[in-house]
Amino acid sequence: MEETESMTAGQIANHTFAYLRRIESQLKSVTEVLLRHETRLGRIERDLGDVRRDLGEVRSDIVLVENQMLNRMNEILDVVRRLDEHSHRISMLETPNTVGS
């Protein structure tokens, strides 16, 4: 207590300004850290947007491939049906008609 009572107004002002400068310095450091984090978060958001876009492209590619596969399967089924019809016709032609004999 004696120490603060013996201090002059100028000394008190010097201590107060030193304290305020220290707070200002800490605030500046915190602001710089927040700016760096904001920059990093911006990059992460941008990268996430790119990932979302890429996933959308992959999904659409998967759908296209699936459609191509289904088209090929339908073509194969159509060929199998025609072959079955032709083999049935051929078997009908090869077997003699015994009804009229």
For the stretch 9-57, pLDDT in tens is 888 888 999 999 999 999 999 999 999 999 999 999 999 999 999 999 9
Percent of the chain topping pLDDT 90: 75
Query: Which domain, by its residues, includes 64?
Result: 2-94
Instruction: Examine residue 53 and state whether it is found in any structural domain, yes or no.
Output: yes
What sections of the chain are H helices per DSSP? 2-6, 9-94
| Amino acid letter, 65 | V
* Res 97: pLDDT: 64
CA distance 64 to 70: 10
Whether the pTM exceeds 0.85: the reply is no
Instruction: Examine residue 27 and state whether it is found in any structural domain, yes or no.
Output: yes
Instruction: Examine residue 100 and state whether it is found in any structural domain, yes or no.
Output: no
Residue 36: both structure tokens together = 């760096």
The mean pLDDT value for 72-98 works out to 91
Residue 7: both structure tokens together = 């201090």
Instruction: Examine residue 63 and state whether it is found in any structural domain, yes or no.
Output: yes
Instruction: Examine residue 30 and state whether it is found in any structural domain, yes or no.
Output: yes
Distances (CA, A) of 78 to 25, 84, 86: 79, 10, 12
Q: Higher confidence at residue 4 or residue 78?
A: 78
Instruction: Examine residue 49 and state whether it is found in any structural domain, yes or no.
Output: yes
Instruction: Examine residue 39 and state whether it is found in any structural domain, yes or no.
Output: yes
State yes or no: pLDDT of 95 exceeds 50.
yes
Instruction: Examine residue 101 and state whether it is found in any structural domain, yes or no.
Output: no
Contacts of 12 (CB under 8 A, 6+ apart): 4
For the chain, the domain total comes to 1
Residues in the chain: 101
* Res 101: pLDDT: 47
Residue 54: both structure tokens together = 């890429």
